[in-house]
């Protein structure tokens, strides 16, 4: 238990923990705001073009993410933008946007088109059709997208390290440093704290998740 | 008007996603040590990559990555298929529990998987190296194989297997001649998934690789980046990997589209 007490008493670890949650929430929101319209547009496209477009969104993930992150660093250098919080968020969104677009696209694609037509026939304005029909039907995709962005962002360490030249520390870095410096018990305690947080988020999402998994939204 | 707006939105997102990759590809055609300096067109990095001996550590890291990926993908394909068959034959209640347990490692962040495996190996006193990396990769790939094989089992007509038994096939013969051909597509996609997960993995590898000088591609890149610079030869290597995957995916997509068209005709 001493290790858990250490966590409460050490303001530094606590700060990184809260800061990481903040970064994860902001990244998730940006990904959702950017990704939802993209998924929506993709789902409206002709099936053939949409398939290729979705492929294009997923393809960058096949290049090792460390190389991509380093290339982002080079891009910022090239444009003479200093590395810091801005580049951190760019890198995070850049790395995790496909994880948001894909599940939302999947659930939008599977919605029954006749429901949308029915709403239109019954005299709903385009705005109403979107808010009352399309959006609620895509909630499982949104839930699964949020999970797939939020959880990895909280635990990454290499991206933050490279994109801010180690100026901004996330919780993943704290974990790794502790394990590397031989403080295994403390590191394990910190991992358990993170695991609890992840468990709580997945419980909140449990329903949407089960649905998404059934529909293959997770993969 | 709306359409133009929509298309340019998608376009600009794609530009954002591809700008860093384009930079890597462009700068793979120059010799400069630092990414971002242009010192004239040159194919030297490409020839360096294919000349053995110039970058021994890089090529051995690449080999390690491929070997670890192939072994762990193969083993997890076998384990995952057996597990999926087992799960399929469980009673509904037990099946739900096991499926839930199967989803936990998938939802678990990789750093926690990595730390738990690290602590497990340390507490068992296993020295870390090739074996531990392969064991770790098998353990995080298997659940994905289960997920890709299980739907095939549900789609299958379960009477087929029983019919084979009734016709006098031994269980093993029925498994080989009836069950496996039905499951093959799921097994192949599971293998591919496991292989890509394994070669792309960084965090789990970093924690289980030990300190005896074993490197995979991702730990090599990480060590490189921490030293302050990227080995220039990584640029052509990533460019080649990217183009290969792009070509492969386009071919697969094209063939799938063709097959669909043919199916529609019939």
A189-212: per-residue pLDDT in tens?
A: 777 877 787 777 777 665 545 544
Domain count, chain B: 1
B145-175: per-residue pLDDT in tens?
A: 998 888 888 888 878 888 888 888 888 888 8
Q: Per the CB < 8 Å rule, is A152 touching B109?
A: yes
Q: Per the CB < 8 Å rule, is B16 touching A94?
A: yes
User: Which residue range(s) make up the domain with B103?
Assistant: 56-230
Residues from chain B contacting residue A179 (CB–CB below 8 Å): 115, 118, 207
Q: Taking 80 as the threshold, does the pLDDT of residue A213 lie above it?
A: no
User: Which residue range(s) make up the domain with A166?
Assistant: 2-214
A124: number of Cβ within 10 Å = 16
Q: Is B225 on the interface with A (CB under 8 A)?
A: yes
Percentage of chain B modeled with pLDDT above 90: 12
**Of B18, B115, B217, which has the smallest distance from its Cβ to A191's Cβ?**
B115
Residue A95: closest C-alpha in chain B: B17
Question: Is the ipTM value over 0.85, yes or no?
Answer: no
* pLDDT value, residue B141: 92
CA atoms within 13 A on the CB side of B209: 21
Mean model confidence pLDDT for chain A = 77
**Of B13, B111, B225, which has the smallest distance from its Cβ to A66's Cβ?**
B225
Candidates B238, B148, B240; CA nearest to B194 is B148
Cα gap B262→B266, rounded to integer Å? 7
The reported pTM is: 0.78
Q: Taking 50 as the threshold, does the pLDDT of residue B120 lie above it?
A: yes
Candidates A190, A214, A198; CA nearest to A24 is A198
Candidates A12, A26, A16; CA nearest to A91 is A26
Q: Is B249 on the interface with A (CB under 8 A)?
A: yes
Residues from chain B contacting residue A175 (CB–CB below 8 Å): 111, 115
* pLDDT value, residue B75: 96
* pLDDT value, residue B79: 95
* pLDDT value, residue B55: 65
* pLDDT value, residue B24: 82
Task: Identify the band that residue B69 occupies on the pLDDT scale cut at 50, 70 and 90.
Answer: very high
Task: Identify the band that residue A31 occupies on the pLDDT scale cut at 50, 70 and 90.
Answer: very high
Specify if B98 maps to a domain. yes
Specify if B238 maps to a domain. no
The enclosing domain of A185 has a CATH number of 1.10.3720.10
B228-244: per-residue pLDDT in tens?
A: 667 777 788 888 888 88
Domain count, chain A: 1
Specify if A77 maps to a domain. yes
Specify if A219 maps to a domain. no
The CA R_g of chain A, rounded to the nearest whole Å, is: 20
**Of A70, A176, A188, which has the smallest distance from its Cβ to B230's Cβ?**
A70
The enclosing domain of B123 has a CATH number of 1.10.3720.10
Q: Is B32 on the interface with A (CB under 8 A)?
A: no
- Structure tokens given for A95: 């790395």
The CA R_g of chain B, rounded to the nearest whole Å, is: 23
Task: Identify the band that residue A219 occupies on the pLDDT scale cut at 50, 70 and 90.
Answer: very low
Specify if A82 maps to a domain. yes
Q: Per the CB < 8 Å rule, is A68 touching B20?
A: yes
Specify if B36 maps to a domain. no
What mean pLDDT do residues A41-66 have?
A: 80
**Of A60, A175, A191, which has the smallest distance from its Cβ to B17's Cβ?**
A60
Specify if B172 maps to a domain. yes
Q: Taking 50 as the threshold, does the pLDDT of residue A214 lie above it?
A: no
Residues 6+ apart with CB under 8 A from B238: A63, A64, A67, B24, B28
Residues from chain A contacting residue B115 (CB–CB below 8 Å): 175, 179, 187-188, 191
């Amino acid at each position: 238990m001493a290790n858990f007490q250490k966590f409460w008493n050490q303001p530094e670890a606590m700060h990184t923990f809260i800061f990481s949650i903040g970064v994860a929430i902001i990244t998730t929101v940006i990904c959702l705001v950017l990704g939802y319209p993209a998924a929506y547009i993709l789902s409206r496209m002709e099936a053939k073009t949409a398939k290729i477009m979705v492929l294009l969104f997923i393809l960058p993930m096949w290049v090792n993410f460390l190389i991509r992150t380093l290339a982002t660093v080079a891009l910022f250098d090239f444009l003479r933008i200093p590395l810091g919080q801005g580049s951190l968020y760019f890198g995070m969104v850049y790395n995790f946007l496909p994880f948001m677009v894909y599940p939302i696209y999947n659930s939008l694609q599977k919605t029954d088109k006749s429901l949308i037509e029915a709403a239109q026939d019954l005299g709903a304005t385009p705005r109403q059709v979107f808010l009352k029909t399309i959006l609620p039907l895509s909630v499982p995709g949104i839930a699964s997208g949020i999970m797939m962005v939020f959880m990895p962002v909280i635990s990454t360490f290499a991206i933050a390290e490279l994109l801010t030249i180690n100026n901004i520390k996330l919780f993943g870095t704290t974990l790794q440093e502790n394990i590397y410096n031989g403080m295994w018990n403390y590191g394990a305690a910190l991992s358990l704290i993170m695991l609890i947080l992840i468990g709580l988020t997945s419980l909140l999402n449990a329903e949407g998740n089960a649905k998404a998994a059934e529909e293959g939204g997770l993969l | 008007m709306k359409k133009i707006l929509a298309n340019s939105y998608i376009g600009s997102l794609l530009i954002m996603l591809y700008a860093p990759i384009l930079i890597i590809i462009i700068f793979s055609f120059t010799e400069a040590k630092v990414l971002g300096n242009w010192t004239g067109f040159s194919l030297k990095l490409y020839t360096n990559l294919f000349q053995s001996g110039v970058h021994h550590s890089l090529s051995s890291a690449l080999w390690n990555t491929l070997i670890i990926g192939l072994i762990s993908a193969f083993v997890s394909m076998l384990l995952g298929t057996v597990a999926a068959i087992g799960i399929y034959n469980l009673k509904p209640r037990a099946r739900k529990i096991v499926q839930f347990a199967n989803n936990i490692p998938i939802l678990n962040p990789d750093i926690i998987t990595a730390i738990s495996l690290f602590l497990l190996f340390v507490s068992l006193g296993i020295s870390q190296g090739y074996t531990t990396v392969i064991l770790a990769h098998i353990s995080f790939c298997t659940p994905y194989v289960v997920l890709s094989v299980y739907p095939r089992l549900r789609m299958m007509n379960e009477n087929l297997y029983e019919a084979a038994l009734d016709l006098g096939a031994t269980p093993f013969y029925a498994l080989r001649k009836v069950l496996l051909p039905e499951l093959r597509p799921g097994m192949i996609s599971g293998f591919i998934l496991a292989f890509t997960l394994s070669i792309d993995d960084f965090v789990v590898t970093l924690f289980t690789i030990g300190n005896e000088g074993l490197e995979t591609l991702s730990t090599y890149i990480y060590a490189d980046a921490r030293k302050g610079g990227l080995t220039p030869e990584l640029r052509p290597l990533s460019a080649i990997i990217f183009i290969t995957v792009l070509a492969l995916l386009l071919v697969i997509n094209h063939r799938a589209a063709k097959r669909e068209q043919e199916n529609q005709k019939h």
